[in-house]
């Protein structure tokens, strides 16, 4: 994986090659891992992500007229769009996460100048680490700076989410964009997605002799497909059946009895996952906030995984095998992170045992004939920002 400084160099060189002279500036926005609280964000619930030191670099310059020209190192191509022509339900592919930001800005009455952009990422794509939010938030931060919109972090995140929901067509919540914007070194963010309140909680595992491993199953995941979209639909139906505005409003006390009144077994399980996972965020937040031993969150990570596997049904066999293997290899707890249907498992491990745990995961994957997983140690890092210019 290239570090961010190397990524900046290659992105600026690509900009000069593609567009003939230097960019006005270079911006970076990170991806994230979510510690706990999955698919709770579009139910007005709680989430607990950290921003990663990995993400997307964008080199940007304003241009005359309302055109967008974007070079992507990953895609190996330059594409363009007239901002006035961007609209929902177009098949824009990766360009949607850039052009969609301009569209979202226009919806808010902001004047969006044309841009030349060169971009590159050091985050694995499609691994559930929010490569798309890092692209939309990096773009939105740059656009806001260059156009003088003077937007808050929450507004930047909202532009990114609108681009993803309306132009890319993925009906996601706002966790990934908020994490990308508000990340802070050494902190996890406990986010109330109803009030959009971000509480920074100290998260320094190294000081406690622990590491957070991120292990990519290499089973690809995609949010712009039916499986992810089915979950918000089911959750809305479940909330309706329970007579609450959102699943967030269902009390944990007496949950079995409340859910027992639901006529649909499927919706009951969907609701139980959301309500219990949101509650687990609060429990983990309290442990970390009180300076408690983070090893105590291990069980909650495992419970969250079981809930995603059995109730919400968003895990897949390569991910379940990984999760079980890393716990078997000594992790205090582990769970899939992100939207699901593939992607990464996070594992809380004693520092010094990382290699053994990764090897355990690789052996288990090989035994099942799955792709070889790859792991790295995650550190909580800063959010979207201007790097140069």
Residues known to be catalytic: 176
Smallest gap from Cβ 35 to ligand GAF, in A, equals 11
Residues 53-72 that bind ligand GAF (CB under 6 A): none
Q: Which is nearer to ligand GAF, 42 or 370 (CB)?
A: 42
358: which residues sit within 8 A by CB, 6+ positions away?
Answer: 213, 215, 373, 375
Burial class (CB in 10 A: 0-12, 13-18, 19+), 126: middle
Question: From the CB of 288, what's the least distance to ligand GAF, in Å?
Answer: 19
CB of 266 to ligand GAF, least distance (A): 19
Among 38, 166, 216, 320, binds ligand GAF (CB under 6 A): 38
The interface mask with ligand GAF, positions 126-165, x = CB under 6 A, is ----------------------------------------
Asked if 41 interacts with ligand GAF (CB under 6 A), we say: yes
Q: Are 2 and 124 in contact (CB under 8 A)?
A: no
Residues 219-258 that bind ligand GAF (CB under 6 A): 223
Q: Which is nearer to ligand GAF, 34 or 211 (CB)?
A: 34
The b-or-e profile of 167-182 (16+ CB within 10 A means b, else e) is bbbbbbbbbbbbbbbb
Is 282 in a helix, a strand, or coil? helix
Total residues interacting with ligand GAF, rule: CB under 6 A:
12
- Torsion angles phi and psi, residue 181, rounded to 5: -85, -40
- For position 176 contacting ligand GAF by CB under 6 A, the verdict is yes
Q: How far is the CB of 170 from ligand GAF (least distance, A)?
A: 7
Residue 320 found at the interface with ligand GAF (CB under 6 A): no
Count of residues in the chain:
389
Verify binding: residue 339, ligand GAF, rule CB under 6 A.
yes
Closest to ligand GAF by CB, 39 vs 309, is 39
Of the listed pieces 37-45, 102-110, 197-205, 315-323, which binds ligand GAF according to CB under 6 A? 37-45
3-state helix, strand, coil in the chain (%, to 5): 45, 20, 30
Which one, 147 or 282, has the nearer CB to ligand GAF? Answer: 282
* Member of 12, 19, 30, 39 binding ligand GAF (CB under 6 A): 39
172 binds ligand GAF (CB under 6 A): yes
> How many DSSP H helices and E strands does the chain contain?
11, 13
Beta pairing, strands 374-378 & 210-216: antiparallel
Token digits for 367? 């035994």
Cβ-in-10-Å burial (0-12, 13-18, 19+) of 229 comes to: middle
Distance separating alpha carbons of residues 127 and 125, to the nearest angstrom = 6
| Residue of 102, 318, 338, 360 interacting with ligand GAF (CB under 6 A) | 338
Give the residue carrying structure tokens 């609209």.
87
User: Where does this chain bind ligand GAF (CB under 6 A)?
Assistant: 34, 38-39, 41-42, 172-173, 175-176, 223, 338-339
């Amino acid at each position: 994986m290239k570090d961010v400084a190397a990524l900046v160099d290659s992105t600026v060189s690509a900009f000069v090659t593609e567009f003939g002279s230097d960019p006005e500036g270079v911006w970076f926005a990170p991806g994230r891992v979510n510690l706990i609280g999955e698919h709770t964000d579009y139910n007005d619930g709680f989430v607990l992500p950290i921003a990663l030191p990995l993400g997307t670099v964008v080199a940007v310059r304003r241009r005359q007229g309302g055109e967008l020209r974007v070079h992507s190192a990953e895609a190996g191509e330059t594409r363009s769009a007239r901002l006035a022509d961007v609209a929902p339900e177009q098949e824009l592919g990766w360009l949607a996460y850039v052009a969609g930001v301009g569209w979202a800005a226009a919806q808010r009455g902001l004047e969006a100048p044309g841009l030349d952009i060169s971009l590159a990422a050091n985050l694995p794509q499609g691994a559930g680490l929010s490569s798309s939010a890092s692209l939309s938030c990096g773009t939105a931060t740059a656009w806001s700076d260059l156009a003088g919109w003077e937007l808050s972090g929450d507004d930047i995140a909202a532009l990114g989410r609108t681009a993803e929901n309306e132009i890319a067509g993925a009906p996601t919540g706002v966790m990934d964009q908020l994490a990308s914007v508000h990340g802070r070194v050494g902190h996890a963010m406990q986010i109330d997605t109803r009030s959009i309140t971000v509480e920074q909680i100290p998260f320094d595992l190294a000081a406690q002799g622990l590491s957070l491993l991120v292990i990519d199953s290499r089973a690809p995941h995609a949010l712009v497909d039916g499986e992810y979209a089915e979950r918000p639909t089911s959750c809305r139906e479940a909330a309706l059946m329970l007579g609450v505005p959102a699943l967030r409003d269902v009390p944990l006390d007496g949950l079995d009895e409340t859910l027992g009144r639901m006529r649909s077994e499927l919706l009951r399980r969907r609701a139980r996952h959301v309500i219990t996972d949101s509650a687990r965020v609060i429990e983990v937040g309290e442990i970390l906030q009180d300076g408690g031993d983070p090893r105590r969150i291990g069980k909650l990570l495992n419970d969250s995984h079981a809930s995603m596997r059995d109730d919400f049904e968003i895990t897949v066999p390569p991910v379940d095998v990984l999760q079980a293997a890393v716990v078997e290899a000594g992790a205090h707890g582990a769970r899939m992170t992100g939207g699901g249907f593939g992607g990464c498992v996070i594992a809380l491990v004693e520092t010094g045992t990382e290699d053994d745990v990764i090897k355990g995961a690789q052996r288990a994957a090989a035994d099942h004939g799955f792709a070889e997983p790859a792991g790295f140690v995650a550190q909580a890092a800063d959010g979207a920002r201007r790097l140069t210019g």
